[in-house]
């Protein structure tokens, strides 16, 4: 399975291996970054709260498991997810 994600700023489309929430570099506004490993670390988007970032990860997970549960797990396929602005 390949997971492709278009970044929040719409400037990049990346095939990613890992996604995580990074709160270590939070700004004064409290933004939380969602990061990805696509052979290098890359910021996919920023969200105001950790809870919103978790919602985004939940959406990505649901998209992946919905596809697998439709018996597509026996074929090569790609999933495309576009990071929401807010």
Alpha-carbon gap, residue 57 to 65, rounded angstroms: 12
Under DSSP, the state recorded for 70 is: I
Residue spans of the domains in the chain: they are 2-82
Q: Whole-model pTM?
A: 0.80
CA neighbours closer than 13 Å in the CB half-sphere of residue 2: 10
Q: How does 10-25 read in b/e, with b if 16+ C-beta sit within 10 Å?
A: eeeebebeebeeeeee
Tens digits of pLDDT across the chain (86 residues): 788 999 999 999 999 988 988 887 665 555 678 888 867 788 899 888 888 999 999 999 998 888 777 755 556 678 889 999 88
């Amino acid at each position: 399975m390949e997971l492709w994600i278009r970044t929040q700023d719409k400037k990049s489309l990346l095939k990613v291996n890992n996604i995580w929430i990074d709160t270590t570099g939070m700004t004064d506004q409290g933004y939380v970054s969602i990061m990805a490993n696509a052979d290098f670390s890359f910021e996919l988007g920023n969200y105001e709260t950790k809870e919103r970032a978790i919602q985004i990860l939940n959406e990505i997970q649901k998209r992946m498991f919905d596809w697998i549960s439709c018996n597509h797990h026996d074929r090569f396929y790609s999933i495309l997810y576009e990071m929401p602005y807010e």
